Amino acid sequence: MLQNAAFAFPDARDAVIRRVLVVDDSLVQRRILTLMLKRWGYDVAEAEDAETGLILCDRFQPDFIISDWMMPGMSGVEFCAAFRATPRASYGYFILLTSKSEKAAVASGLESGADDFLTKPVNGDELRARLIAGARILSMEQELKAKTAVIADTLAELQSVHALIDKDLQQARILQQSLMPARSATFGKSRVSVLLQSCGHVGGDIAGMFGLENGDFGLFSLDVSGHGITSAMMTARVAGHLSSDHPDENLALCRTDHGFAFLPPSRVAERLNDRVVAQQGVTEYLTLAYMQVCASSGHARLVQAGHPPPLLLRQNGEAVFIGDGGLPIGLIEHAPYVDHSFDLSPGDRVLLYTDGLTEAMLADGAMLDEDGLLDLVQNLPRDLSGPDFLDALHDSLKLKAGNAVDFDDDISAALLEYGGL
């Protein structure tokens, strides 16, 4: 039997009308519980056994189930397990009514999925308190579902936006690749080849080459600070200043009575620095290695502006890094730059590269550095040339980095193979 209890409506914090299913083979027990629950403001349904209770669960969709433990046929514990196995749109709070002799078997009730227990005879105040506590749990579950739905909708919108951005970035990557119209170009008996591997869709590295009608040519490697779209836009703009398609806009060239001629590399760096420094609101800077070669004599001039030192590989096996650093482009107004001159012989090669190569992280956690780069280069097959040489160099780096798929920085390079007259 039920103990006496003062009647009151559900807690004001639980504004919704909760549905309660009472399952008990005792008609008297059901009616007393139902009367109490209705006076507290609950919507109540009754079932005389667990089998009927399961049918009502599907139709009535109760928020709470109050079930007797011992019933003919299916027990309350078996009923709870069956209820938990039934798909529902929301959680159902399950309370088992036990006698004192059944309290030792509470563990089996918990294993079946019961949330709470009450000992018969049921105290009304205790029942009401358990229902209020359960209502808080149900409210939190509903609030969590609502927030999850918002998150899911937001995620769907973000995925849609990301898909559009990704499509734009894919196109941007194609456009950036087009800044290098060819992976390899010949100038008489000499050849310049380039490599560009961005760590993202787009990057801040670029390498290229251009030539004059008399056969002389220039090549460059540059690296804009940072990564992503901003760096890529800066790269595109700077690459336009060293374009082979528009010699009038190329900062490395000047018009003469006989066509175009090269300016000294140091002057090219100065002109480019003036352009970048003058851009309002631009905080990016870049490093640059630019060299020009007289095709007939093999005389080469180089400017290094904060860029890794180019690697000169002589035909006789000698290898030396060239340059003394220099200031990056775009940091200081009127920054000074100097030329480095050297002579090339047929069979000599020069590798310009960005720090994405020498600062690549290897499998042991160390950086490749210049000695590591030299070791990679000297261990490549001697018969490799042009793009094949650069691709093999990149593959060797990936292998040394533990078969890395992507690196943390863009990697680019330009390879000059001097062929003489």
What SS3 class is residue 195? strand
Supply 248's token pair: 């009038």
Domains and CATH numbers, the chain: 19-146 (3.40.50.2300), 179-417 (3.60.40.10)
Lookup result for tokens 């062929």:
419
Angle formed by the axes of helices 76-84 and 50-60, nearest 10°: 30
Contact 204, 224 (CB under 8 A): yes
In angstroms and rounded to an integer, the radius of gyration of the C-alpha atoms of the chain is 39
Q: What are the C-alpha distances in Å from 34 to residues 20, 28, 57, 120, 212?
A: 9, 10, 16, 16, 98
Length of the chain: 421
| Pick from 43, 44, 60: nearest CA to 52 | 60
Task: Report the alpha-carbon angle 97-100-102, nearest 5.
Answer: 65
What global pTM score does this model have?
0.63
Secondary element (H or E) of residue 79: helix 76-84
Residue 352: which of 264, 278, 289, 285 has the closest Cα? 289
Query: Residue 418: is its pLDDT beyond 60?
Result: yes
pLDDT digits (tens, 9 = 90+) for 34-56: 999 999 999 999 999 999 999 99
Residue pLDDT, tens place only, 249-260: 899 999 988 889
Closest CA to 54 of 14, 33, 81: 81
- Compute the distance between CA of residue 131 and CA of residue 32 in angstroms, rounded to an integer: 16
Evaluate whether 191 touches 181 at the Cβ level (below 8 Å): no
Distance from C-alpha of 164 to C-alpha of 398, rounded to nearest angstrom = 31
Contact 228, 296 (CB under 8 A): no
CB 124 within 8 A of CB 3: yes
Alpha-helical (H) ranges within 179-190 are none
Taking residues 111-115, report their average pLDDT. Answer: 88
* Over residues 150-156, mean pLDDT: 89
Instruction: Of 39-53, 105-119, 269-283, give the range with the top mean pLDDT.
Output: 39-53
Dihedral sign of CA atoms 144, 149, 153, 155 in order: positive
